[in-house]
Amino acid sequence: MHPHPRHKRAGTALQAGLFSLSALVLSACGGGDSPGPAAAPMAATSAAVERPAAVDASCPPLQVTPVFEARVPTPKDVLGFALGTREVTSAESDAYLQAVDRASARVVTGIAGRSVEGRPLRYAIVGRENNVSPMGLHRVRDAVRKLRDPATSAIEAAALAATTPAILWVAGNVHGNEESGADAALRVLYHLADRKDCDAARILDNSIVVILPIQNPDGREADTRRNAYGFDMNRDWFARTQPETDGKLELLRQYPPLLFIDAHEMGSEDFFFPPNSDPVYHEVPDRALSWINYLYGTAISAEFNRQKIPYFNGPPYDLYAAEYGDTVPTIGFHAAGMTFEKHSDDPLNRRLREHYVAMWTSLSVATSERVRLLGDWRLSHLEAVDEGRRGLLEPNVIQYDAPSLYQPVPNLRVRHYFFPDDPARQRELAQLVRRLQRMDVQVYRLQAPLQVPDFRPYGAATRSVTLPAGTYWVPMAQRQKHWVQAMLHEDPYIPTDYSYDITAWSNPLLLNLPGGSSGAVLRPQASRLDLQTVPAWPKPAVTPRIGLLELPGTLGFVCAGSMRYVFDRVWRLPYTPLTPDTLQASLAKLDVLLVPDGDAEEGLKALGTRGQRALADWVKAGGRFVGYVGGAEFAVGAGVSTVVLEPSDTATSGALVRVRLDRGSPLAEGIATSGTGRPTAWVMYYDDAKMSQGLGQAAATFPGLNEPDFHASGLKTGLEELSGSTAIADEAVGRGRSVVFSIDPNFRAWTEGTQRILWNALVGPNPSLASAAAAAQPEAERQAAVEAAQRAAQALPKLDMPIRIVVRAGDADATRALVQRHGAEFQELRRGERVVFLIANPEGLSGEEHPFAHQLARELRQQVTPLSVRMP
């Protein structure tokens, strides 16, 4: 048995079960969503422990015989086979949604957006006819808008909670090769569209259910986890880079969820549903977290126990980074975001059935408690406004079974965020503001100068400043307070020293935007901004002929795909896609070669000795090589870079770290300066190799921990190892040039601040005197440096997308024994007080897909305290 989750501020909260319409009516919360003084103060309250849902005992969910009206075609009628006998295709799913729409007044369908390859993201909304008619849907949307609006009076809100259906979401297949969630969602649709028994009537009478069976139609058709650009779209939610994610979130804004189910598959046995593991992000709304843990989790557990379905909760699935299909609905919409995971190797009919049971149970619970939940949902938004007005950040606590609290949220007031109006940063500013606005955050511009006594710039000391008119202002006193903090924080204050994925995602840092916060009580003169448009990326003065080389392996596909997206849809810059097999024949047609991350060793083998020599000759003759991470290793192996790479033993799991650029380098063009007056940029450091510049110039350097330019957001374990090392090396090679990055400047297409540096590397000028320096360099000296760099690179791990575990030296023996018990191939790197285990993952499987990765993570946390467990 897993420990029962602990709830934030449990000792001071009202029991959620005691909230009622009378409490709603008596609430003192009023006033508008604006930051002004109109809204009356409110004593913040929060839910503690949810009571079980009061389900009608005469009609228990999943225990009555379904009664169908036979007005709606069955899946077999339309598709020619019963659900669960084989997986439906995207086209078949679309066809069934449309057939049900034609047959039933309970169902309407639409298209939320289109995929990269143009396939529709078709959804269905099912409910009583009066709720899903055009007028009915308008009425529901308007009622929900008013429930979320602090300006709505308590009396009107109580009436709305009593009469408004809850909006509940069922979504599947965000990972294209995790199919059964979509098939189960189609079963839910059929049952709600055609059944007339009490079990279905409870859901129909109290909700409208938005069903999005397939979130990734391109991936489903290709049987790949990712979409056509190689994006894991369960890491794209806040950034909305992909059209599939963007369309889905716009539909969520139209129909804000009280419950969002995201159905997945995984390599581990049994079924997962929340409670989630630690860490839980501190700004997850208290009530939503209580629903997840104590309402839905408890109900699903009871039903799975009744049906004897094996399951687990907790590790490794956390509720931390604001990038997933559970965290974003929870933080951004105050919904109960529920991840369901089912063992992918079980037969389809079993996968479908267990997903269906979890989905139906959740819908039944939500509708049984509709009035109370809608009332509490409104209170959650009001509490957010009040916390923002008072500058309160939610505390960090241990929610599940972490041994201790790693980082408490400091006693810090945050009432405002400010960003200077910088003409050189117009694109990044517009991107930030638009991203906030499209999650219903209100953003303003100062109409007059504002004295701020405690301005806290990102990565600098607090000081008194006068902010000029035109400064962008984001107040915390609004119902999206939790989302504002999640997007604009300087540090996420991680409660544990590990996480499921990255540990930092602050949008201003990703965009490399100056700005900061204040906790002072201020009364700015400001006007609210209309929805911003993002300016097009400027065209280069000269457009070089660029080749994009995709290295072998899953990581090569992912990183080249991310660059294809940027070339196609952000930069709108022409390029030639290449593989190692086609590179040599294409060199004469290229000015620049870009090599993203991937399997460098396999890429060099595929290129061959003659191809490597041809590449080196091309660079010496004037070509420009640009590579990052695996691409840097590829450059060393091909003899076009002399950087020295060595493995790291850091345990950051993805932290934002500030690097200092050489102000004389053309790579620093357009990069903002820090408080020290030097150009700096925030890079996503993902436990990458440590690099020294060889014969080149260090165009960007990691500052020492005690230097003013050093700053990091997220986990910092081991970052002292990077002090003084090179992040970007710029090297003259004959008449040509190589620019290599130790980090990924296009990490998931999030890091637009370092995308600008990459742009400079691809289309900007060469450094002055570079060719002269290369000409003066003795060939023998260069050849010796190349050979030394290649010898050093041989010590780098030769595994594509490994599982990476970092432990203290004293825990190495226990960790090794656990890894060996699973029969895994692994490499062990012992460096000082930390030991790194790299587990082979030859198929490039994600952590969810891997057959034992999650089991190993749980076993590790039971026996040792790992510093980091990072899964692809």
Mind listing the pLDDT tens digit for each residue in 244-270? 999 999 999 999 999 999 999 999 899
- The pLDDT tens digits of the residues spanning 140-182 come to 999 999 999 999 999 999 999 999 999 999 999 999 999 999 9
Which runs of E-coded beta strand occur in 43-202?
A: 107-114, 120-126, 166-172
Q: Which of 330, 164, 201 is nearest to 257 (CA)?
A: 330
User: What is the identity of the amino acid at 185?
Assistant: A
pLDDT of residue 595: 98
Instruction: Supply the pLDDT for residue 45.
Output: 35
Structure tokens at 148: 């979320």
Domain boundaries, the chain: 10-390, 416-528, 546-645+689-702+722-793, 803-870
Dist. CA 726–CA 689, nearest whole Å: 10
Residue 548 above 80 pLDDT?
A: yes
Summarize the confidence of residues 285-291 as an average pLDDT.
98
Q: Is pLDDT above 70 for 757? A: yes
134's CB contacts (< 8 A; 6+ apart) are none
How many other C-beta atoms can be found within 10 angstroms of the C-beta atom of residue 544? 16
Lowest mean pLDDT among 38-42, 429-433, 853-857: 38-42
Evaluate whether 755 touches 431 at the Cβ level (below 8 Å).
no
Distance of CA 4 to the CA centre of its chain: 27
The pLDDT score that the predictor gives to residue 870 is: 82
Q: Are 442 and 470 in contact (CB under 8 A)?
A: no
Q: What is the reported pLDDT for 28?
A: 30
What is the domain class of 803-870 according to CATH? alpha beta
Q: How far apart are CA 483 and CA 329, in angstroms?
A: 10
Least confidently predicted of 14-23, 194-203, 213-222, 622-631: 14-23
Report, as an integer, the average pLDDT of 417-442. Answer: 97
Give pLDDT tens digits for 226-243. 999 999 999 999 999 999
- Say whether 293 sits in a helix, a strand or coil: helix
Mean pLDDT of the chain: 92
Percent of the chain past pLDDT 70, that is, above it, reads 93
CATH class of 10-390: alpha beta
Q: What integer pLDDT is reported at residue 769 of this predicted model?
A: 55
Taking 90 as the threshold, does the pLDDT of residue 48 lie above it? Answer: no
Amino acid making up residue 214: I
CATH class for the domain made up of 546-645+689-702+722-793? alpha beta
> Are 330 and 289 contacting, i.e. CB atoms less than 8 angstroms apart?
yes
Q: Each residue of 327-353: pLDDT tens digit?
A: 999 999 999 999 999 999 999 999 999
Q: So what's the pLDDT on residue 50?
A: 53
Give the C-alpha separation, 191 to 169, whole Å: 15
Cβ neighbours of residue 670 under 8 Å, at least 6 residues apart?
Answer: 424, 756, 760
pLDDT of residue 213: 98
Q: What's the CA gap between 87 and 79, in Å, rounded?
A: 11
CA 804 – CA 812 distance, rounded (Å): 13
Residue percentage of the chain with pLDDT more than 90:
82
pLDDT value of position 431: 98
Averaged pLDDT for residues 739-760: 98
Q: Is the pLDDT assigned to residue 8 strictly greater than 90? A: no
Query: What pLDDT is recorded for position 645?
Result: 97
Tokens of 791: 């010898």
pTM > 0.85: yes
Region 315-322: what's the mean pLDDT? Answer: 94
H runs (alpha helix) in 539-639: 553-565, 580-586, 600-620, 630-637
Rounded-to-integer distance, Cα 38 and Cα 478, Å: 12
